[in-house]
Chains A and B, each alone.
Chain A
Amino acid sequence: MEKSLRPPPTADLTPSVAESIPVDEQVLRSPSSLAGVWSFRWLLIQWSRRDFTVQYRQSLLGVVWAIVQPLMLLVLYGVIFTAFLGIKPDRGSYAVFALCGLVPWTFISSAIGRSSGAIAGNAGLLRQVYFPRAIIPLASTGVTVIDLAIATVVLLIAQGVTAGTIHLSTLALVPIYLGLILFMSGVSIVVSVIGALVRDIRFLIPLALQVGFLATPIMYPRRGTVPSRYSWIYSLNPVARTIEGVRQAVIDGTWPPAYGLVLLVGVGAVSLIVGLRYSAAVEERLPDLL
């Protein structure tokens, strides 16, 4: 018996047959790839929308929870960090300062958290219908993008109320978010595929996120809090740099350096492509292993 070597399922039998039916079978049958995901973009939108609305079904407050959750965190950590630990923000009011960190961080942590179990949780569907498997973690990220948009509105209202002005440089959030969303899309795909194959990931991730939350200057400023001999570690933390960019844009009213934004979007695009390539390479094993 031949051992596990096979041509791709779309291999042509004879060229003449291929010419006779002009269908886009390549796109229909392609594994996770930009083209494959694009051809299923409607599914991606439907899936994100469904997962977003379904979580608030049969709840009294509904979508309000999307605002209440980050605000509760803000109050809780705010009291601990300012009143108990005596931390002072290095710019702006503490609420806006902390929200600038909390909003992107919540996006990062819930994108990873949601996608880690997403493919495993849809094992049944995987065995029934064909679609690029990366759609599943991308939809999980899509849900958190909606949360991110809502939380950002709260952030901007807080900035408007406490500082009395919203700077023009706030527009820098567009490339920052673009880079962040692209980056997390790629990470989500990898985390979701590995999470389906090796379930340990799902216990490891909350731990890692806890460490990340405390090790990143989200609720406290780096300046004046972190001893200078550890400062270099923070320079290497890409999330810390992203949050710094958000604070510059929203609170300081200065544009983050252009090369930083280009780098962020570039790294994000690379991440998404790596994620899709990875999924394409292993996803056909998923139905057999789940």
Chain B
Amino acid sequence: MTQVVAMRGVTKRYRTGRERINLRAAIPGRWGEPTRGDFHWALNDLNLELEAGGSLGLIGPNGAGKSTALKLVAGVLSPTSGTVTIRGRTASLIELGAGFHSDMTGRENVYFSAAVLGMSPRTLRSRFDQIVDFADIGEYIDTPVKRYSSGMMARLGFAVASHLEADVLVLDEVLAVGDAAFQRKCHARIAESRRQGVALLYVTHALYTLPMLCEEAILLAEGTVRYRGHPDDVVQAYERLTPSERVPVADGTYKVFTDIRTSPMTIQAGDSLDFDMELFLAEGLPHGHLMVTAADTQMKVHGAVSSRHAGIQFDQPGRHVVHCRIDELPLQPGSYVVYVAFFGDYRLPPLDDLRIFKLEVLGEPVEAAYGAVRIPASWSSA
């Protein structure tokens, strides 16, 4: 296999401390390199490879060096030492709407942004309508973007960048913007690029998206690879990394699961699923309930079951052991994602404590196989 991205022994340092004017920085060559001062090593001997058509997710705590790694791949930064080799064209979605100017119309900004991202005028002309369609901007394309809502800006920015001809797609958390419908659209668009053989390098804090988009993942900490493997394993390694800091964390998310075991996640259509969950609720946690959700690999939800509907709520601190059984899972054969989540009743969903499982349903589709749900039916004709 061909490697499209290869980082070998990459280090990156930043100067820290008070800003000092360094006249020598204007001098070419070694004379201009800063020598004194405090340095922070954002990356410390980082090695990673991404093969053509592959997908790699990067997760890790803040300051682990994820964004620095992406910017090196995007060519925006240069390594302090080591090599970064890129074969092919990169499309970086590090920030949406790169180069948008508020006084210019949507159309003018599409042209400029496309040029800044390296799209050729011929490609842009042939894809312009697609871009506008995808962004769902309609008649507002000739309105200055300062009149746009932030959602419209994000849609237009994503539309331009995702229509680049690229061998590597570099994504940094940009999918976190926009509403649910737009996020689904973005996931679908990325999945489409992936089918066309575009490799993906993806940084996220939304851990539940990792198994959907990536075949492999890396846990970064302190500028180096801590763990590499299947996304599910890497997510778990991440959770083990800093358990104490994350109960509860500042943004109102809580960690409650201490253990989840499931029946085998490769089943025949119509088989049952079992979940054995262990939670520990810290003192002062709000009432909450458990939810098991089945979605397809593009985040489209097909169904969910909640403990609340069975009259089970969690309002006592301490340890809880919960069992959930789904008889005859009514999903057509295919690949799915099942996530188990604890939802606090008066809080935002604690997305940090989603557990994700990949589900394969085997067998013959029932009926015409439109949609994802098996609907048993009997027909008769007189």
Is the Cβ of A29 less than 8 Å from the Cβ of B26?
no
Binary flags per residue of B10-34, CB closer than 8 Å to A gives 1, else 0? 0100110000011101111110110
Across the interface, which residues of A come within 8 angstroms of B75, CB to CB? 9, 29, 130
Q: Determine whether the beta carbon of B25 is less than 8 Å from that of A128.
A: no
A178 interfacial by beta-carbon distance below 8 Å: no
Neighbouring A residues of B112 by C-beta, 8 Å = 46-47, 50
How far is A13 from B33 in the complex, measured between Cα atoms in Å? 26
Report the minimum CB–CB distance from B27 to chain A (whole Å): 8
Contact assessment for A128 and B98 in the assembled complex, using a CB-CB cutoff below 8 Å: yes
Q: How far is the CA of A13 from the CA of B87 in the complex (A)?
A: 10
Chain B CB within 8 A of A255 CB: no
Q: Is B351's CB within 8 Å of the partner chain A?
A: no
Question: Counting CB contacts under 8 A, is A263 at the interface?
Answer: no
Q: Mark B26-57, 1 if CB is under 8 A from A, else 0.
A: 11111011000000010000000000100000
| A residues near B83, Cβ cutoff 8 Å | 6-7, 9, 11, 13
B25 and A13 within 8 A (CB): no
A21→B2 contact, CB < 8 A? yes
Spot the interface stretch: B115-123, B147-155, B239-247, B316-324.
B115-123
- A285 and B117 within 8 A (CB): no
Q: Nearest Cβ in chain A — how far from B143, in angstroms? A: 13
A6 touches B79 (CB 8 A): yes
In the complex, identify which listed stretch (B89-97, B204-212, B305-313, B361-369) lies at the interface while the others stay far away.
B89-97
A46 partner, pick from B82, B84, B103, B115, beta carbons under 8 A: B115
- The tally of residues in B whose CB lies under 8 Å from a CB in A reads 57
Given contacts A9-B78, A9-B79, A284-B78, contact A21 B87 (CB under 8 A): yes
Is A71 in the interface zone, CB < 8 Å from B?
no
**Cβ of A126 and Cβ of B79 under 8 Å apart?**
no
The CA-CA distance from A7 to B6 in the complex, in Å, is 14
| A127 B76 Cβ-Cβ under 8 A | yes
Mark A117-141 against chain B: 1 for CB-CB distance below 8 A, else 0: 0000000011111110000000000
Q: Mark A1-28, 1 if CB is under 8 A from B, else 0.
A: 1111111011111000110110101001
Interface membership of B58, Cβ < 8 A:
no
Given the known inter-chain contacts A25-B88, A42-B121, please indicate yes or no for A17 contacting B3, CB distance below 8 A.
yes
A-B residue pair count with CB separations less than 8 angstroms: 141
Inter-chain CA distance A287–B22, complex, in Å, is 14
Shortest Cβ gap from B38 to chain A (Å): 14
Whether A213 is near chain B, meaning CB under 8 Å from some CB there, is no
B104 at the interface (CB under 8 A from A): yes
Which chain A residues have a beta carbon within 8 Å of chain B's beta carbons?
1-7, 9-13, 17-18, 20-21, 23, 25, 28-29, 40, 42-43, 46-47, 50, 53-54, 57-58, 125-131, 193-194, 197-199, 278, 281-282, 284-285, 287-289
Across the A-B interface, give the 10 residue pairs with the lowest CB-CB distance, nearest first: A281-B28, A130-B75, A43-B115, A284-B78, A2-B81, A46-B115, A57-B103, A128-B98, A197-B26, A129-B98
Seen from chain B, the residues whose Cβ lies within 8 Å of a Cβ on chain A are: 2-4, 6, 8, 11, 14-15, 21-23, 25-30, 32-33, 41, 52, 71, 74-89, 92, 94-95, 98-99, 101, 103-104, 108, 111-112, 115-118, 120-121, 144, 167
* Given A20-B2, A42-B120, A131-B116; 18 other pairs, CB 8 A cutoff: A2-B11, A4-B80, A9-B85, A13-B6, A17-B87, A23-B88, A25-B88, A29-B75, A43-B116, A43-B118, A58-B103, A126-B76, A127-B77, A128-B99, A130-B74, A193-B26, A197-B23, A278-B28
